[in-house]
Structure 1
Amino acid sequence: MPTTPSVLCELDNGLCRLTLNRPEKLNALTLGMFQEINEYLDGLDYSAVGCLLLSGAGRSFCAGHDLDSLAAGEEAGHAERFENGLVERLANLPFPVVASVRGHCYTGGLELVLAADLIIAADNAKFADTHAKFDLVPIWGLTQRLPRRVGMAKAREMMFASRTYSGAQAEAMGLANQSVPEAELDEAVVALCRDILANSRRSNRAIKKLLHDTDGLNLAAGNAWELHHSEGHGPGFAEVIRAKRAQQKS
């Protein structure tokens, strides 16, 4: 890794903070950054993680793919497949992934953030897909994940017109789960992560797996899958019930 990492990773009390760290470049993505993320995930003790927080250092989450590296041809061939696989790896992590978005979330940054389960945005954040402005076509899953998040009609609008949407608009269309004033963003994100960490890690992982396993199934098939594949009660259930009963008696 470089002397100053382009990505930071910190694990504390079950919360893994994965931070894009090229603030002077608005965290524009490079192949090296994807390799750093992959190395962190390789070395991460998944059993110790209850939630992963994805964010960007400085004033923007991510301005997109680094155009200089694209123009230099550094992202062709195997690199494209690797980057696509890394986004897929993030999307399929067994624990909940929360993304915090301030400033820009453009194109490649939008593709990356769509790997998160939950997105919290500053109300003045800027979301956009600009592939078509540069005669580019998505390769990290945008055409698949964006329609699933906002619906096909809105996804077509975002991709065909390359318009920019605020964090508040992103919440209204279902792209972001919540938008808050920028000054309150960090507090809101930490509060959400704390709520997630306060719950059963086993439950959250099993729920996320059910969601992934049944994606694309119709209601009847998905309901049947849940019935036969749900992990059901865990060892923590009886303990929670005992604690509640003791509290009621006191």
Structure 2
Amino acid sequence: MTYEQILCRRDGPVATIVLNRPEKLNAFTFRMLGEIHAALDTLLFDDLRALVFTGAGRAFSAGDDLIDMGGADPAEDIRRGHHRLITRLRGVRLPVVAALNGYTLGAAFDLALACDFRIAAADAELGDVRVPRAMCSMSGAAFWLPRIIGMTRATEILLLGERVPALRALELGLVHRVVPRDELDAAVAAFVDRLLALPPAALGAQKACIEYGRSHDLPDALEYEMSELIRGFACDEWREAIRAFAEKRPPRWR
């Protein structure tokens, strides 16, 4: 399929979606969001084991394109575009990595926070700049940020509309790695290789347990974790893990 505002690359079990409006700092439009969903419709039915998001040029994304995001029913547009994307990424049983190659602001900040891992270029800046522009967050920043870095720092960043430099984001626990810009692609590839070395069903089950625990109490979460564990005992991965242990060799995951 041909896209106008994204690029979609596939390298074996890894897919990369590139936000591709570099002349506009990859600002979101509803067309771009529709293309992302179309790509996911195809990718998530394949034998995919990791998904990477990044941006073309000097930005991950500057957020929404305020000129091109108008519509007759903005609430429904946001639900169908942004909200559906965030919930899809949290629901997939595979790791999602954000490779933050520059500005990661507004709605792009929402997207990055919804990814499982964030690896940033050293000159990247992250933040929610919407309050100074007479808006508030709309697709997850107020939900995710306090859970990731704590209420005190999150309140400051969200209310003041602060941009957080990459190294400060690392100190806050907002990103997982910071690397020089020219090493970002290699660092992301190496990190994804670590993910590919893990058993995919178990990795997906662990992500599902984390996600379930966000919205349920401890007794329910314990039951859910146990059910995922028991289900895993019936799959080929568990049998391969036992064979590899007995034969003193590395496991071979399919």
TM superposition score normalised by structure 1? 0.90
Tell me the SS of whatever aligns to 1:194: helix
Tell me the SS of whatever aligns to 1:137: coil
1:9 aligns with 2:8: yes
Change (3 A) 1:243 1:45: farther
Q: Provide the C-alpha distance between the structure 1 equivalents of 2:224 and 2:85, rounded to a whole number of angstroms.
A: 28
1:123 match:
122
Note the C-alpha offset of 1:5: 2.1
Q: CA RMSD in A?
A: 2.2
Note the C-alpha offset of 1:158: 0.7
Note the C-alpha offset of 1:103: 1.3
Q: Does structure 2 conserve the Cα–Cα contact (< 8 Å) formed by 1:31 and 1:75? A: no
Change (3 A) 1:186 1:246: closer
Q: Does structure 1 conserve the Cα–Cα contact (< 8 Å) formed by 2:201 and 2:232? A: no
1:236 aligns with 2:251: no
Deviation track 1:194-243 (CA, whole Å, cap 9, x = no partner) reads: 11011111111111111111224455653443234423442321232144
Tell me the SS of whatever aligns to 1:119: strand
Q: Does structure 2 conserve the Cα–Cα contact (< 8 Å) formed by 1:119 and 1:178? A: yes
Note the C-alpha offset of 1:171: 1.0
Tell me the SS of whatever aligns to 1:61: strand
| Larger deviation, residues 146-155 vs 236-245 | 236-245
- Structure 2 residue corresponding to 1:78, chosen from 76, 88, 94: 76
Question: Structure 2: which 5+ residue stretches go unaligned?
Answer: none
Number of residue equivalences: 245
Q: Provide the C-alpha distance between the structure 2 equivalents of 1:93 and 1:117, rounded to a whole number of angstroms.
A: 11
TM superposition score normalised by structure 2? 0.88
| Larger deviation, residues 171-180 vs 73-82 | 73-82
Instruction: State the identity as a percent.
Output: 32
| Larger deviation, residues 36-45 vs 169-178 | 36-45
Q: Does structure 1 conserve the Cα–Cα contact (< 8 Å) formed by 2:20 and 2:55? A: yes
State how 1:165-176 maps to structure 2 within 5 Å.
165-176=164-175
Q: Does structure 2 conserve the Cα–Cα contact (< 8 Å) formed by 1:122 and 1:179? A: yes
Q: Does structure 1 conserve the Cα–Cα contact (< 8 Å) formed by 2:5 and 2:32? A: yes
Deviation track 1:119-159 (CA, whole Å, cap 9, x = no partner) reads: 00112211121110111122212211111111111111111
2:109 match:
110
